[in-house]
Amino acid sequence: MGLKRTPLFSMHQKYQGKLIDFGGWELPVEYQGIIAEHKMVRSKAGIFDVSHMGEVEVTGERSLEFLNTLLTNDFTDMTEGQIRYSPMCYEHGGVVDDLMVCKLSPIHYFLVINAANTQKDLAWMEKQAFPEGVTITNVSDRYAEIALQGPLSQEILQPLCDADLATIKYYYFLPSVKIAGIDCLLSRTGYTGEDGFEIYMPPEAAATIWETILQEGGDRVALCGLGARDTLRFEAGLPLYGHEMDEDITPLEAGFGRFVKLEKPSFIGKEALSEQKEKGLERKLIEFEILGRGIPRADYEVQKDGVRVGHVTSGGYQPTLEKSLGSCLIKSEFAVPGNEIEIIIRNKPVKGRTGKGLFYRRNKK
Amino acid sequence: MATEIKEGLYYSDEHEWVRVDEDNANIGITDYAQHQLGDIVFVELPDLDSEFDAEESIGVIESVKAVSDMHTPVSGTVTAVNEGLDDVPESLNSNPYEEHIVVIKMSDRSELDKLMNAKEYADFCEKEE
């Protein structure tokens, strides 16, 4: 077998997380229960081990030029300390991965990629034509990553830090913050639909930081597994690679056109995506609610009047909203809000209705 | 993990329990099963009067993270279903031995002999860990 373990494995044992094989990593799916953990993150805070995520450094004078060619978003006007999300596409417009780009300096960028895609992404990046002096380095083993998510995240983390967290805006980071005396990269980002932080630290310091946050947080913070991470991200309508986007689903079909800057002079996938946009999309991603009884799950067939029109990309019971929602990739003519569709659940059609704004949105202060 | 096991019930290796009342088998899932499944959010019950063979799937239990078939340990006809589970499926998490899922009128009582008693089931669960 040989499952990989994160630097926080001893913590998952100590706190009795229910361990599973998650894409080759031995990680907790839940501690006290997915719904309880989910609700804690919506109301207070939750702590997650996300050390399996991959990290890549891009360095060199012409890093910006490289990133602007490699990725669909435009990084030209980014400031130091800013973070930008982007798909990374193949020539045909399908998606290699989606990732975050953190700008440390004009010659130094820090990329955060999906765990399961780390090797594939690196192979893809290395295949590209590099401008002179640009280097990419897989630094995944040099970092553990902890996510602290939920409305009380700042209040819990602040006393442990030597920086004023209120100064970090959403999708910004500080490259060097002392947390419990340990030097970390700290970003105001997350994958839950709540306010929160992601902390990148040396692997050997991870357990100390984990314990320090738990101690400070007390009953305001819940240990959370990957189960709640998935329900929180989907309830907030956030995409997951392999579901809403993959090699066969372009960012335009997935509704992420705002991260594809077709006006850039050139980038990988530009021709295919421009052509797709010009011709019009044959299928689109749209959210839906279930009107009958049943829970929509990934890969279930979607029909309209008995004819297949697409499939469910993600779906499930939404703990905060207390109902079942899904996303589906269906023929564009049906991908408009208010359309009745059928989800095929165990060979039986269950009524659903496409919509807009069905997902959870937090009340921003 | 401490799993609760009740005396006086029959147990299957699929982690269902049977409480016998004359020819009727009240069937539910064990504490071990509900713990493995996690938060239960949906139960699909069989139709009344439908007939099943032992070990056949009679319905579906969905937790937040997974879809699982529910089996009957004994053959027979469905005479009642626990409709309360339509609205409160999570009661299978909180009271696994109080909430039956179906009642089956058994067609062959000798099938009960193949099931485990509490002690045997406790040993079985320990091996599953």
CB atoms A33 and B41 under 8 Å:
no
Report which of B85, B102, B115, B124 is spatially closest to residue B51, judged by C-alpha positions: B102
Architecture of domain A9-51+143-235: 2-Layer Sandwich (3.30)
User: Which residue in chain A has the smallest CA separation from B68?
Assistant: A346
Return the pLDDT at A340: 98
User: Which residue in chain A has the smallest CA separation from B60?
Assistant: A346
Number of other residues whose CB lies within 10 A of the CB of residue B7: 7
CB atoms A316 and B67 under 8 Å:
no
Cβ contact A202:A217 at 8 Å: no
The answer on pLDDT for A128 being more than 80 is yes
Per-residue tokens: A7 = 């630097």
The answer on pLDDT for A282 being more than 70 is yes
Confidence of residue A157 (pLDDT cuts 50, 70, 90): very high
Summarised one tens digit per residue, pLDDT across range A24-42 is 999 999 999 999 999 999 9
CA-only gyration radius of chain B, Å? 14
CB atoms A317 and B60 under 8 Å:
no
The DSSP string of A309-338 is EEEEEEEEEETTTTEEEEEEEEEGGG-STT
- To the nearest whole angstrom, how far is the Cα of B64 from the nearest Cα of chain A? 6
**Nearest CB to B38; choose among A33, A293, A316:** A33
Order of strands, sheet of A54-59, starting from the edge strand that comes earlier in the sequence:
A83-89, A95-105, A108-113, A54-59, A135-138
**Mean per-residue pLDDT, A300-320:** 97
CB atoms B62 and A35 under 8 Å:
no
Residues of chain B neighbouring A230 (CB-CB closer than 8 A): 65
Per residue of chain B (129 residues), what is the pLDDT tens digit?
578 999 999 999 999 999 999 999 999 999 999 999 999 999 999 999 999 999 999 999 999 999 999 999 999 999 999 999 999 999 999 999 999 999 999 999 999 999 999 999 999 999 987
Cβ contact A224:A37 at 8 Å: yes
Confidence of residue A1 (pLDDT cuts 50, 70, 90): low
Return the pLDDT at B1: 55
**Nearest CB to A35; choose among B39, B44, B60:** B39
- To the nearest whole angstrom, how far is the Cα of B72 from the nearest Cα of chain A? 19
Tokens 């669960």 — which residue?
A: B125
Query: Is the CB of B86 inside 8 Å of chain A's CB atoms?
Result: yes
- Higher confidence at residue A363 or residue A64? A64
Say how far apart CA A246 and CA A89 lie, in whole Å.
9
CB atoms A294 and B38 under 8 Å:
no
Domain boundaries, chain B: 10-109+117-123
Chain A residues within 8 Å of chain B (Cβ atoms): 18, 29-30, 33-35, 227, 230-231, 293-295, 297, 316-317, 319, 346
**Nearest CB to A316; choose among B38, B64, B86:** B64
Return the pLDDT at A363: 82
Confidence of residue A243 (pLDDT cuts 50, 70, 90): very high
* Total-model pTM: 0.95
Q: Where in chain A is the domain with CATH 2.40.30.110?
A: 282-355
CB atoms A227 and B38 under 8 Å:
yes
Return the pLDDT at A365: 56
**Measured on CA atoms in the order A213, A218, A220, A225, is the torsion positive or negative?**
positive
User: Which residue in chain A has the smallest CA separation from B93?
Assistant: A33
Confidence of residue A362 (pLDDT cuts 50, 70, 90): very high
User: Which residue in chain B has the smallest CA separation from A226?
Assistant: B65
> Domain A54-138 - what CATH class?
alpha beta
Architecture of domain B10-109+117-123: Beta Barrel (2.40)
- To the nearest whole angstrom, how far is the Cα of B45 from the nearest Cα of chain A? 12
Say how far apart CA A294 and CA A187 lie, in whole Å.
38
Query: Is the CB of B66 inside 8 Å of chain A's CB atoms?
Result: no
Cβ contact A148:A45 at 8 Å: yes
Return the pLDDT at A30: 97
Return the pLDDT at A335: 98
Cβ contact A26:A4 at 8 Å: yes
Cβ contact A281:A269 at 8 Å: no
Q: Where in chain A is the domain with CATH 3.30.70.1400?
A: 54-138
Percentage of residues in chain A having pLDDT higher than 70 = 99
Q: Cα(first)–Cα(last) distance of chain B, in Å?
A: 9
Cβ contact A213:A148 at 8 Å: yes
Return the pLDDT at A210: 98
> H helices within chain B, ranges in order?
31-37, 84-87, 91-94, 118-128
Buried (b) or exposed (e) across B37-65, using 16+ Cβ within 10 A?
A: bbbbbbbbbbeeeeebebbeebbbbbbbb
Residues of chain B neighbouring A346 (CB-CB closer than 8 A): 44, 60
Mean pLDDT of chain A: 97
Fold (topology level) of A282-355:
Elongation Factor Tu (Ef-tu); domain 3 (2.40.30)
Cβ contact B27:B72 at 8 Å: yes
Report which of B40, B52, B44, B35 is spatially closest to residue B101, judged by C-alpha positions: B44
Mean pLDDT of chain B: 96
Return the pLDDT at A2: 85
CB atoms B38 and A30 under 8 Å:
yes
User: Beta strands A95-105 and A348-355: pairing type?
Assistant: unpaired
Among A21, A32, A34, A320, the residue to mutate for chain B (most B Cβ within 10 A): A34
**Measured on CA atoms in the order A10, A13, A17, A20, is the torsion positive or negative?**
positive
